[in-house]
Structure 1
């Protein structure tokens, strides 16, 4: 493996780890702790968390897509020669990106509007009923990505 490929795979893995790890932290660590806060404070906390984290997610997505397709072209000569597990990972990755974009431009945009209008109860409703299920889905898909990445090279196909 070339030095360039080593750098690309490192950036790819770090970006994926940060994205999925950030989701895990927010969903499984911060969320339960935030439940002890007053509802209005909790919604404002989540606004700050989402604003900061989602900016990073766009960077992670860029790094994942660019490094992933660079590796496919550099190391496999294109999609035709790419192993099945990497094609599966690519498909799941695109699904995660679509889900995140839907979250960002849909429910999160509505959430920000409600916060700006100081309609915090409505913002909380959007967060709990529209955003949280999408975040949970991406956490599950991201976990599946790591499982496939760790085991795919051993698939008998």
Structure 2
């Protein structure tokens, strides 16, 4: 159980922390300093390096979460409402990530390769909004995970 909790926390920290850094620190600086060709290329390369970590985090979160739920607590009936909420929000986050990865991120990468900066900007704007939603959901999951069992 301790290993599953540790892996679960590490995976969520990598994913949510990465989104927080990208959204709250890197995005405003890049938008203020870089022209579209450089900014879009930067983001395509950042995602190229960050998304494998997100894939790993998703797999670890699913594996450790399901293991704890079914092997330790005997299934969904054995966990509290906060775990149900965490799972639901986590699945939504994963679906949003899958959409980002297979749709706007692919189109952003292709636009950068073609040097089609207007098309790339559209895709980056969509990715920004979706990551913003995922960041809010991720922070909500952190609150639920850390305090959920203390709520009535």
Q: Report runs of 4+ in structure 1 exceeding 6 Å deviation.
A: none
Structure 1: any 5+ residue segments left out of the alignment?
Answer: none
d(CA) in 1 for partners of 2:44, 2:141: 27
Pairing 1:95–2:92 present: yes
Show the counterpart of 1:119.
116
Structure 2: any 5+ residue segments left out of the alignment?
Answer: none
CA contact under 8 A between 2:93 and 2:134: conserved in structure 1? yes
Structure 2 counterparts to residues 1-157 of structure 1, below 5 A: 5-35=1-31, 36-128=33-125, 130-156=126-152
Secondary structure, aligned partner of 2:115: coil
RMSD: 0.9
Provide the TM-score with structure 1 as the length reference.
0.93
d(CA) in 2 for partners of 1:153, 1:75: 16
The CA deviation at 1:120 is 2.0
Provide the TM-score with structure 2 as the length reference.
0.96
d(CA) in 2 for partners of 1:125, 1:103: 13
d(CA) in 2 for partners of 1:38, 1:98: 31
The CA deviation at 1:74 is 2.1
